[in-house]
A and B are shown apart, each in its own frame.
Chain A
Amino acid sequence: MLSVALITFAGLVALCLAMEKHFGELLKRKPKPGQLPALRWAGWALLVLSLILAVNIRGLAFGLVEWFALVMAGLTLWVFGLPYQPRLLLGLALVSMLLGPVLAALGV
């Protein structure tokens, strides 16, 4: 389930960055044209992917419940951690993006 947690987290962060206000605040630059919609698509795609992965690993009932829990936990961590440790959380999102699929391939 760690892979699901990481991919979910990466998806949530992509959706947050897809908002102009947050993109500017966090990355300290203006988004290029097309970047925001791309992030939005990527975010939703990652969320759907992680849900499929969760159901695959844990079955429908457990997969659904655990996926919801991970989404809520990821959001809470991101939103309440952001004012205090933005760089750390952005780093975590990057690591999630890279490590998540690797772990998924390994079946963790």
Chain B
Amino acid sequence: MKEGFRQAMAWLHTWTGLLFGWLLFAIFLTGTLSYFKDEITHWSQPEVQRHQLDPAASLGLAKRYLQSNAATAGSWFIRLPSDREPALSVSWRDPNATGRRGFISHELDARSGERVEVRDSRGGDFFYRFHFQLQMPHPWGRWLATFCALIMLLGLVTGIITHKKIFKEFFTFRPGKGQRSWLDGHNAIGVLVLPFHLMISYSSLLLFMYMVMPASIMAAYKGDSDSYFSELFGRDDAPKAAGVAAPLTDLPALYAKVQTIVPGARIGYLQIANPGDSNAQVTVTQAAADHVAYQRSANWTFDGVSGALLSQGEPESAAMMTSFTIAGLHMGNFAGPWLRWLYFVFGVAGTAVIGTGLVMWLGKRQLKHAKSGRLPFELRLVEVLNIASMSGLLLGVAGFFWANRLLPVGMQGRADWEINVFFLAWALSPLHALLRPGRKAWGEQLALGALAFAGLPLLNALVTGHGLDQSIARGDWAMAGFDLTALGTGLFLAWAAGKMLRTPNVQAKRAPRAAKAASTTAEVN
């Protein structure tokens, strides 16, 4: 009975893993990149210079810029620079435009307060959006991504049940033994980083809970889901403009006030309603980096003329705090440098669990055909899809960054073309994989990926003058870290490509190695 159950779970693990593995790999990889969303955006818009943070001074500069460029706007929005993203960003709604259009956003230099003409690029936001919207029309991408999260959770649970020796082999990894090593690796990264994997897939379901399980919300809010969101995120109703001119209060002074309420608080952004009117109001929101939970209550609303504190965000209920904490853990906004790197490493681990699973599915079935040397159609299809979903995606990511540096800065629809290059490179990968034998296709694409990633720091140095020598000298670690990570990725891909290309005759190598693996497995057991 028990073995039957385990076999059923193994079957489920194998087949859901195969069907959704390709998409999950892409979701995990782009999601992992999103942990460095701000840093990637900084790299994508190198025109913005990094300066020592000085929030009070930045606020003064932002106010000056907005007063001379958006004096008639009904509301302003200021996002302060952070350790991760150096731009001081100001935005407002063009009073003469209606609807979504007319929302204007400028990036300012945090020291001079002058506008910086940045290249048109989605930067890290592209990967972030892709990892849960999959570049599909709303809401289909979110549905599919959420369903994938459910499959991931299912894969983890069925994987644990299938894994017979979870405790006995907890510390076990035996490299250089073919399929045995792949399975060891798959199990070890799955089990050792399990808390992360579980947190990520469970929280993904929770993040889109309103979509997946709307019944309770609909019942409690009598079908009015908008009021659910305004209660959840405290969308405050700004007062109407009085039509009487009054000077806007001193923003640096408000910053100082917040510092007396919460010493050491970092400020994320400010919303200013009716600037220059006697009914002006300023809401200061603490940076998400200050809390583990993704909470919205850490904000203070001031009178925009006198500067008096009007209200403070209501603390969340315990239930809300729980779900905000889970959401906050997923996004990792609070993570400082070393924890952010660990988040990235664990994200790579999650991606690797999926990747090794896909490779093993095929590897096991390939063995039967090792003698004839010809794969049946369905296995060949899986092989091509494996290559396209893994090395192809990496080529797409590299393509995006190359496009970012090579497309002319003044080009129309530039940001869209970066994305087009991403998808073009990705789409070429299965074509190449169809034309070449499996191992060659892997090796060649990984080698191209190695060149593309390792070449990024060089390209960056050549075309922007923000190369490693410059960025390290300036202490711009977001820029330098990107280049170094690209270099590291390139070296890793070169190593992998070398492994693939060094043994050109798969059939001759595979069979004895498989036999050896089988005998060593027998010894170990």
Query: Which residues in A have some Cβ–Cβ distance to B below 8 Å?
Result: 1, 16, 19, 22, 61-62, 65-66, 68-70, 72-73, 75-76, 78-80, 82-84
Contacts and interface: CB of A to CB of B under 8 A. Distances in A.
A66 B171 contact: no
13 contacts: A61-B293, A65-B334, A68-B195, A69-B339, A69-B342, A72-B196, A73-B345, A75-B171, A76-B345, A78-B171, A79-B171, A80-B188, A82-B173
Contact of B292 (A65, A73, A80, A83): A65
Contacts of A61: 291-293, 325
Given A72-B346, A73-B345, A76-B189, A22 B196 contact: no
Interface in B267-326: 291-293, 325
B193 A72 contact: yes
Nearest to B332: A65
Nearest to A70: B342
B345 A79 contact: no
**Interface of chain A: mostly helix, strand, loop or mixed:** helix
**Interface of chain B: mostly helix, strand, loop or mixed:** helix
A3 B419 CA distance: 44
Nearest to A80: B173
A79 B292 contact: no
Contact of A79 (B173, B342, B343): B173
A73 B335 CA distance: 15
A69 B293 CA distance: 16
Interface in B45-91: none
Interface string B185-218: 0001100110110000000000000000000000
Contact of A16 (B171, B189, B345): B171
How many of chain B's residues touch chain A, expressed as a range?
20 to 34
A54 to B, nearest CB: 12
B174 interface: yes
B339 A79 contact: no
Contacts of B175: 83-84
B334 A62 contact: yes
B329 A65 contact: yes
B193 A76 contact: yes
Given A61-B293, A66-B339, A69-B339, A76 B192 contact: yes
B172 interface: yes
Nearest to A84: B175
B116 to A, nearest CB: 34
Interface in B143-172: 171-172
B189 to A, nearest CB: 7
A62 B292 contact: yes
A83 B339 contact: no
Contacts of B173: 79-80, 82-83
Contacts of B331: none
B358 interface: no
B349 interface: yes
Contacts of B189: 76
Nearest 9 Cβ contacts at the A-B interface: A61-B292, A75-B192, A16-B171, A69-B342, A72-B193, A83-B175, A79-B173, A76-B192, A79-B188
Nearest to B172: A79
A82 B185 CA distance: 13
A76 B195 CA distance: 13
Contacts of A78: 171
B168 to A, nearest CB: 8
Nearest to B185: A80
A80 B349 CA distance: 12
A64 to B, nearest CB: 8
A25 to B, nearest CB: 10
A76 B174 CA distance: 14
A77 B164 CA distance: 23
Given A61-B325, A76-B349, 14 more contacts: A1-B338, A16-B171, A19-B171, A61-B293, A62-B334, A65-B292, A69-B343, A73-B342, A73-B345, A75-B171, A76-B189, A79-B173, A79-B192, A83-B174
